Amino acid sequence: MLFNDKRAAEIMAKAGVDAIVATSPDNVMYATDYECISHWINKGFQVYSIYTPSHTPKASLIAPSLELEAIVDGDVWVDDVYIFSPFKRGPAQENEMDRVGRAGKALLERAHTVNRAVEGLVAAIEARGLEKGRIAIDETGMSPFIFWEVKQRFPNADIVPGNAIWWEIRMVKTADEIARLRMASHITEDAIRHAYGLVRPGVKESEIVHAYNMRVAELDGRPTFMVLGSGSRSSYPHILTSDKVIEAGDIVRYDIGCTYKYYHADNARAVVLGKPTTQQSTLWEALAQGVEDALGLIRPGADVRDIYRAAMKPGKELGLADFDRFHCGHGIGISVYDPPVVTLADPSKSAFLMPSIEGGLLPGMSLNVEVGYYMQGVQGFLCEDTVVVTETGCERLTRNSKALVYDDFMTANASL
């Protein structure tokens, strides 16, 4: 199961809330294991879940009739279901139906039926007697008009934004989440090793990107992003795909991701196609060493501020001009950016809008450590690895070599 129900109950008690409502695709799926395609692809589509550890039932799912088969054919653990927006199927005798058809018919017969998603959420709140309760609603997947409607329906309830609470719950991963993260990382690195086999003078960047995306799909992943820049284009952090031709001596930098069963990978390296300059070698060694030093600190209780300082120290000691980063890493999970953020600042007051952590890292947290340096219009480097915090240290999910020379990179990765 993806949902960490024990942690959810603890975080909710700390926040003083009776119920927590998921509204965004990632939070609903995390909370219920419900893979609703319409929710992921249609901006503004409303699907909810509610979790109340002190009530029976503990959880309810409010889902569209169109996608009820995804409930009975998937791994959804929630039994109390509200079906909205009726979607008619043609008549059939039960003995003609397949397993999913029969299960879907049975679900329709036992589920609560409502016209709109918000009506299902209101009914679930009323069924729990929480008309005067404190309810945290994930504001990221609910329109302001519907949020206002819920508050109007429950004038005596204390309804508060809940996304930060979901962030905090999701910081510690379950075994099922970690297994998906591990597979996603392996897929990305296998795919980039395959794609980098094509790197040579005369090949277009777009050919490398296409080979990577094809390999990800072959390995049962879903491509999400593939940032590839060669030569001076390596200096732009999130450059768009182009048909630039790779040349001898180019830096070829990647920053890649994919999902496996909706869980993300994110890792990065840079190589030089030929002999690196002294400057390139010095820069890369500092960045790669910073990542290694930071990873060496990751264990239960570690402070993200110490991890940040360790990551930045080698580059700082080089005296690099404008070598400054808001963060040197981030959590990763069903979102490519989860808390904790590896930073000296307060991430809740930054562009990330994520909670900071108290008391250091915990076993089960997953995070990326990354250090980069970009010289505008000249060259750029990024080194990034993914780990999971264990009881005694951390497990590395990324394995690709940090060799800067292209031939050395490919040779070192050949046995992986």
Q: Structural domain boundaries of the chain?
A: 5-170, 175-413
48-51 and 59-64 beta bridge pairing: antiparallel
Give the strands of the sheet with 158-161, arranged side by side.
112-114, 80-84, 59-64, 48-51, 19-22, 134-137, 158-161
Instruction: Tell me the C-alpha distance between 270 and 231, whole Å.
Output: 11
**CATH architecture under which domain 5-170 falls:** 3-Layer(aba) Sandwich (3.40)
Paired with 268 in beta bridges are 255, 384
Closest CA to 159 of 50, 348, 17: 17
User: Same fold for the domain at 5-170 and the one at 175-413?
Assistant: no
- Indicate the residue type of 410: M
Looking at residue 358, what is its pLDDT? 85
pLDDT tens by residue, the chain, 416 residues: 999 999 999 999 999 999 999 999 999 999 999 999 999 999 889 999 999 999 999 999 999 999 999 999 999 999 999 999 989 888 888 889 999 999 999 999 999 999 999 999 999 999 999 999 999 999 999 999 999 999 999 999 999 999 999 999 999 999 999 999 999 999 999 999 999 999 999 999 999 999 999 999 999 999 999 999 999 999 999 999 999 999 999 999 999 999 999 999 999 999 999 999 999 999 999 999 999 999 999 999 999 999 999 999 999 999 999 999 999 999 999 999 999 999 999 998 888 888 888 889 999 999 999 999 999 999 999 999 999 999 999 999 999 999 999 999 999 999 88
222-245 b/e with 16+ CB inside 10 Å = b?
bbbebbbbbbbbbbeeebebeebe
pLDDT of residue 93: 84
Is residue 265 within 8 A of residue 400, CB to CB? The reply is no
Position 350 scores a pLDDT of 86
Rounded Cα distance between 415 and 189, Å, is 13
Q: 348 and 356 in contact (C-beta within 8 Å)?
A: yes
> What's the CATH number of domain 175-413, 1.10.3720.10, 3.40.50.850, 3.90.230.10, 3.40.50.150?
3.90.230.10
Q: What gap in Å lies between CA 223 and CA 212, rounded to an integer?
A: 8
End-to-end CA distance of the chain: 29
The residue ranges of DSSP E strands in 303-378, in sequence order, are 327-331, 338-343, 366-375
Q: How far apart are CA 228 and CA 238, in angstroms?
A: 8
Specify the pLDDT at position 357: 87
CA 310 remoteness from chain centre: 24
Nearest to 201 by CA among 243, 241, 245: 245
CA 62 to chain CA centroid, nearest Å: 23
> Percent helix, strand, coil in the chain (nearest 5)?
40, 25, 35
pLDDT of residue 40: 95
Report in angstroms the alpha-carbon separations of 306 from 207, 322, 362: 40, 21, 15
**Integer Cα distance of 389 and 394 in angstroms:** 4
Of the candidates 128, 159, 132, the one whose C-alpha atom is nearest the C-alpha of residue 58 is: 128
**Residue 351 dihedral angles phi and psi, to the nearest 5°:** -65, -20
Q: Residue 404 and residue 252: Cα distance in Å, rounded? A: 10
CA distance 239 to 137: 36
Q: Give the separation between CA 120 and CA 113, rounded to whole angstroms.
A: 8
CA distance 329 to 305: 11
pLDDT of amino acid 92? 81
- Could you tell me the two tokens for 398? 């990324």
Q: How far apart are CA 307 and CA 329, in angstroms?
A: 9
Output the pTM of the full model. 0.96
The set of long-range contacts for 58-65, using a CB threshold of 8 Å and a minimum separation of 24, is 58/5, 59/31, 59/32, 60/120, 60/124, 60/127, 61/28, 61/32, 61/34, 62/114, 62/117, 62/120, 62/121, 62/124, 63/34, 63/36, 64/36, 64/38, 64/117, 65/108
Contact in structure between 223 and 258 (CB atoms under 8 Å) = yes
- What is the predicted pLDDT for the residue at 279? 96
